[in-house]
A and B are shown apart, each in its own frame.
Chain A
Amino acid sequence: MRLTAENLSARRGEDLIFRDVSFALEAGESLVLTGRNGSGKSTLLRVIAGLLRPESGKVTWHAPDAEEEMKAAEASHYLGHRNAMKTELSVTENLSFWRDFFSRRNDNRSLSVGEAADAVGLGGIAHLPFGYLSAGQQRRMAFAKLLVSWRPVWILDEPTAALDVSAESVFTTLIKSHLKDGGIVLAATHQPLGLEKARELKMTGFAGVMEEVW
């Protein structure tokens, strides 16, 4: 399994946010994006998730069991700033919806909804409406969404925002076990996730105005 990015550049309005970002990640490797606010971490993650079109370059995904031309986005879980959970529905309803919606085949590495809620340490409250939970609990449940359907690549944008110390350690454990299972993790973060061997990409931001003449 390999996730490669070649010469990625992305633009917001007139400004190039970053230019010529390249990396390659093999199974079990992780990449941590650091840099100050507005340096383009989220933009880079959204480009890799296929949600933004890169100005140049491309993201490719190779896996032995993947069909040709499979997009990296289809092998990825994306945890953005927003939790992608409905406040009107209960946690169980939310998670089982995503489980059905995500899964192409029932991989034995996918957890059931109850197991996923237990894994983030909130097993007892899965019957509550998502809107009743505190911000930190919501974030944990959003993370449980990554566990209900196994995907090799995790793209995490500030995963530990609004979390207490114990939840951070839960996340670190889950990320480590995902890497041990042969997954790939890309994360933008300010707090250290406590990953050994994680590669770091420092985003500097504002790569200059496009030198393109209209």
Chain B
Amino acid sequence: MTALLLRDIKLSVRAGGGALIGVLFFIAVVAVIPFGVGPDLNLLSRIGPAIVWIGALLSALLGLDRMFQNDREDGSLDLMLMQEHPLVLTVLIKCLAHWLGNGLPLVIASPLLGLFMNMNEVAIGATMLTLLVGTPALTFIGAVGAAVAVALPRGGLLVAIVVLPLAIPVLIFGVSAAYAAVEEPAPFLPPFLILVAITMFFAVLGPLGAALALRNAGD
């Protein structure tokens, strides 16, 4: 299983992997916002956490469809389905590797984008923390969509649309926790803990659903 984790991480950083593309897209989306909104620093810092979160959500959706499709196209998925280890575990490891390759770079890039949005240190820290906790949920939800669309040749947009409604709660609680850290009356912990709960919930449900979909995608 460690072998699978290492292999998938290696693949995501080598040529053709999605790691860099996701980060570049994230930076592109957030970097154009100040140009569009104009040089109103107060406005920028007010919408900052939301924009960074939306950018992260969109770039997370970008790389999802390749999660299983690459393995299906070269036949690796067949061999993974045949093995003794539970498929759920294989899917979970693939999700982890996908997050380490695609989600974590977004989290690491987010402070830089926070500067673009004129956010203060607390807001940047809170956004980074909520992204760190929230982006795994996006990967786990996305795994189900990716598994459902695995047999479709151009499933990318479909995956994004299937996944988006389920990803909305992650966005809501992620952004509200990030705001709560800067705006005084609102407490930080409740939305943050709900975000943690969502991630843990989908960490269980996502691999189960994805494994079920992969088993039935047989052709």
A interface residues with partner B (beta carbon < 8 Å): 46, 49-53, 73-74, 76, 78, 80-89, 93, 96-98, 100-102, 104
State in angstroms the CA–CA spacing of A104 and B84 once bound together.
Answer: 9
Return chain A residues, CB-CB under 8 Å to B11.
86, 88-89
SS class, residues of chain A in contact with chain B = loop
| A74 & B75 in contact (Cβ 8 Å cutoff) | no
The distance from the CB of B63 to the nearest CB of chain A, in whole angstroms, is 15
| A52 & B218 in contact (Cβ 8 Å cutoff) | yes
State in angstroms the CA–CA spacing of A50 and B4 once bound together.
Answer: 21
| B218 & A80 in contact (Cβ 8 Å cutoff) | no
| B83 & A93 in contact (Cβ 8 Å cutoff) | no
For window 60-89 of chain B, which residues contact chain A by CB distance below 8 Å? Answer: 73-76, 78-84
| B83 & A88 in contact (Cβ 8 Å cutoff) | no
Return chain B residues, CB-CB under 8 Å to A93.
7, 10
Does B14 have its Cβ within 8 Å of any Cβ on chain A?
yes
| B84 & A80 in contact (Cβ 8 Å cutoff) | no
Does B16 have its Cβ within 8 Å of any Cβ on chain A?
yes
| A86 & B74 in contact (Cβ 8 Å cutoff) | yes
Name the one of A81, A88, A96 contacting B75, with C-beta atoms under 8 angstroms.
Answer: A81
The 10 tightest CB contacts between A and B, nearest first, are A82-B75, A100-B3, A84-B75, A73-B82, A84-B76, A74-B84, A88-B14, A97-B7, A97-B3, A52-B218
Return chain A residues, CB-CB under 8 Å to B15.
88
The distance from the CB of A31 to the nearest CB of chain B, in whole angstroms, is 19
| A84 & B74 in contact (Cβ 8 Å cutoff) | yes
For window 113-144 of chain B, which residues contact chain A by CB distance below 8 Å? Answer: none
| B7 & A74 in contact (Cβ 8 Å cutoff) | no
- Given known pairs A52-B218, A74-B83, A102-B83, the reply for A80 and B78 (CB within 8 Å) is yes
Interface size on B, residues (CB 8 A): 25
The distance from the CB of A14 to the nearest CB of chain B, in whole angstroms, is 16
Return chain A residues, CB-CB under 8 Å to B7.
86, 89, 93, 97
Q: Which chain B residue lies CB-closest to A151?
A: B82
State in angstroms the CA–CA spacing of A104 and B85 once bound together.
Answer: 9
- Given known pairs A49-B78, A74-B83, A80-B78, the reply for A88 and B3 (CB within 8 Å) is no
Return chain A residues, CB-CB under 8 Å to B76.
84-86
Return chain B residues, CB-CB under 8 Å to A49.
78, 82
| B78 & A78 in contact (Cβ 8 Å cutoff) | yes
Known: A49-B82, A100-B3, A104-B84. 18 other contacts (CB 8 A): A73-B82, A74-B82, A74-B84, A78-B79, A80-B75, A82-B74, A82-B78, A84-B74, A84-B75, A84-B79, A86-B11, A86-B74, A89-B7, A89-B11, A89-B14, A97-B4, A101-B4, A101-B79
A50, A86, A93, most chain B CB atoms within 10 A: A86
| B218 & A51 in contact (Cβ 8 Å cutoff) | yes
The distance from the CB of B92 to the nearest CB of chain A, in whole angstroms, is 15
Q: Which chain A residue lies CB-closest to B6?
A: A97
The distance from the CB of A98 to the nearest CB of chain B, in whole angstroms, is 7
The distance from the CB of A133 to the nearest CB of chain B, in whole angstroms, is 14
Name the one of B4, B16, B218 contacting A88, with C-beta atoms under 8 angstroms.
Answer: B16
Q: Which chain B residue lies CB-closest to A84?
A: B75
Name the one of B2, B10, B78 contacting A84, with C-beta atoms under 8 angstroms.
Answer: B78
State in angstroms the CA–CA spacing of A100 and B1 once bound together.
Answer: 8
